[in-house]
Amino acid sequence: MTLLVLGVSHRSAPLRILDRLALTQDEADQLAADVTTTDAIAEAIVVSTCNRVEVYADVTRFHPAVAEIATQLSKATGADRATLLDHSYVHFDSAAVAHLFSVAAGLDSMVVGEAQILGQVRAALVRGQDHGTAGRALNRVVQRGLRVGKRVHAETGIDRSGQSVVSVALAAAADEVGDLAQCRVLVVGAGSMGALAVATLAAHGGSDVVVANRTRSAGEHIAASVTGGRAVDLAGLAGELGRADVAVFCTGAQDLVLGADALAEARVDRREPLVVLDLALPHDTDPAIAELPGVTRIDLAWLAAHPAAAASEADVAAARRLVADEVAAHLADVAGQQVEPTLVSLRAHAGGVIDDEMARLRLRLAAADDATMAEVERAMRRAFARLLHNPTVRMKQLAAEPGGDRYAAALSALFDLDPALPASMLDPATDLDAPDGAR
């Protein structure tokens, strides 16, 4: 496969642009389906989060694939194609693999080291498989990326502080209103980010927590994780805003959930300060609410401009080294697979030579018993195995180097091999790739 990624993230575009590119889950799935209608793209998945939208694709032609992805992303979001390309990045082949592994490891996140992205990448792959846009090629590289992400979190201290966009935002709110355990906190939205907000509050001893959601049962499920937590539907939002000290918005709605006039009306009789954390993309709240007396609004743009020290330089460096090693190992595996047909053909050729020689021996040594002939054949196969072992290992190593395909071509020319011949030509009971004593 040849991996391509085209994306826009908090690193390449301001939040006002990301706002316009936000996709619902259904829209992301449809985008993956749309880009795979072209011959240049065999498979695709879309990773869409609060601070990135990325299309990962297995492609056969670079330029047509980039053009198609840009066109379909523009169509899906309504964003101007030129503006989109001005703020996008494209990675191809080894660079795309490195980017995927870095994203899965949390190295490219707004809060470096956060682990939520692992689940988001995994969910994108599962949806792609369910909808038929992701097959063997993407499954292999994304699954490896997920394993890399897990290794980074297990073997480095990159997430020792347990930071996430949610935890950093709540810490910023605490700077404004004091100990959150003593505050009334309203969480609007019962998705993964809402659940993470409630879990974070519970871990810090919060008890006066209300979850407002369009589907009240989903809110009740999350609120139950907090002692004293409760849930309301969105019809009760105004009343809860009138009592809250902190309000966390993370609904995933495509339109504004809270306007300035509505908030002013909800808090007409309240003078205590309110911190609104808008962690949605597109944003849930009107930026104008920050102009209301006593209201502080913190959104993703604010968080991007105030990065938290989620990991030390040493931990980040260790994570980057691990990612680089995994990228090299993956590329070596892929290169080895590409020369495997030539190696299979070589082993089949060797097996054919042995078969021919054994047939001649049986005619010339008709008096020899079966046990003797069987021992002769085993000796011949062991000799061929020893001769082929080092060249086979070295071929796989050389395949990972620049121009490695030339070695496979040279081998084919020297032995007049045909890698297109079926592997079944080689006797499955014979392992000519194993060194003497390995069987």
Catalytically active residues are 50
C-alpha distances (whole Å) from 223 to each of 90, 209, 291 are 41, 7, 31
Pairwise CA distance, residues 150 & 222, whole Å: 26
Report residue 83 CA to chain centroid gap.
25
The count of other CB atoms within 10 Å of the CB of residue 44 is 26
Name 164's Cβ contacts closer than 8 Å, sequence gap at least 6: 111, 114, 115, 116, 196, 200
Residue 160's closest CA among 335, 318, 323, 337?
A: 318
The 8-class DSSP code of residue 275 comes to E
Name 384's Cβ contacts closer than 8 Å, sequence gap at least 6: 350, 353, 354, 432
- Token readout for 178 is 């004091």
Residue 61 φ/ψ, nearest 5 degrees: -140, 130
**Using an 8 Å Cβ cutoff, are 65 and 59 in contact?**
yes
- Token readout for 142 is 């994304």
AA identity, residue 33 = A
Q: Return the residue matching tokens 């072992």.
A: 389
Collapsing DSSP states into helix, strand and coil, what is residue 277? Answer: strand
Report residue 280 CA to chain centroid gap.
20
